[in-house]
Amino acid sequence: MEFGTFYGIGVGPGDPELLTVKAINALKKIEVLIAPKTEKKSDSVALSIAQPYLKSSVEIIYQTFPMVKDFAEEKEVFAANKEEILRELRGGKNVGFATLGDPMFYSTYIYIFKLLEPCGVKIVTIPGVPAFLAIAAQIGRPLAYGNDILTIIPATAELDAINSALERADSTVLMKVYKNFPEIVAELKVNGMIDEAVLVSRCGLDDEKIITDIAANKNEQLNYLSTILTRRYSV
Ligand SMILES: C[S@@+](CC[C@H](N)C(=O)[O-])C[C@H]1O[C@@H](n2cnc3c(N)ncnc32)[C@H](O)[C@@H]1O
Residue 161 sits in the same domain as residue 210: yes
229 lines ligand 1 (CB under 6 A): no
If you average pLDDT over residues 98-120, what whole number do you get? 95
| Among candidate residues 63, 95, 126, the one where a domain is terminated | 126
- pLDDT in the model for residue 40: 60
Task: Return d(Cα 187, Cα 191) in angstroms, integer.
Answer: 6
In 3-state terms, what secondary structure has residue 133?
A: helix
- pLDDT in the model for residue 235: 78
Residue 104 sits in the same domain as residue 163: no
Residue 103 sits in the same domain as residue 189: no
Task: Return d(Cα 223, Cα 148) in angstroms, integer.
Answer: 29
Distance 128 CA to ligand 1 centre (A): 12
Distance 29 CA to ligand 1 centre (A): 26
Q: What is the pLDDT of residues 71-107, one digit of tens each?
A: 666 677 788 999 999 999 999 999 999 999 999 999 9
Task: Return d(Cα 67, Cα 37) in angstroms, integer.
Answer: 10
Residues of the chain with pLDDT > 90, as a percent, come to: 85
Residue 122 sits in the same domain as residue 10: yes
Residue 11 sits in the same domain as residue 118: yes
Whole-structure pTM value: 0.94
**Strand pairing report for 171-175 and 95-99:** unpaired
Domain housing 103: 5-126
Residue 65 sits in the same domain as residue 90: yes
Q: What one-letter code names the amino acid at 228?
A: I
Provide the CATH number for the domain around residue 183: 3.30.950.10
12 lines ligand 1 (CB under 6 A): no
**How many distinct structural domains can be found in the chain?**
2
Is the predicted pLDDT of residue 231 greater than 60, yes or no?
A: yes
Q: What is the pLDDT of residues 190-221, one digit of tens each?
A: 999 999 999 999 999 999 999 999 999 999 99
Q: Using only the alpha carbons of the chain, give its radius of gyration.
A: 19
Residue 38 sits in the same domain as residue 102: yes
* Candidate from 57-61, 139-143, 231-235 with smallest mean pLDDT: 231-235
If you average pLDDT over residues 112-120, what whole number do you get? 94
| Among candidate residues 126, 144, 169, the one where a domain is terminated | 126
| Among candidate residues 84, 107, 126, the one where a domain is terminated | 126
Q: What is the pLDDT of residues 14-65, one digit of tens each?
A: 999 999 999 999 999 999 999 987 766 657 899 999 999 999 999 999 988 8
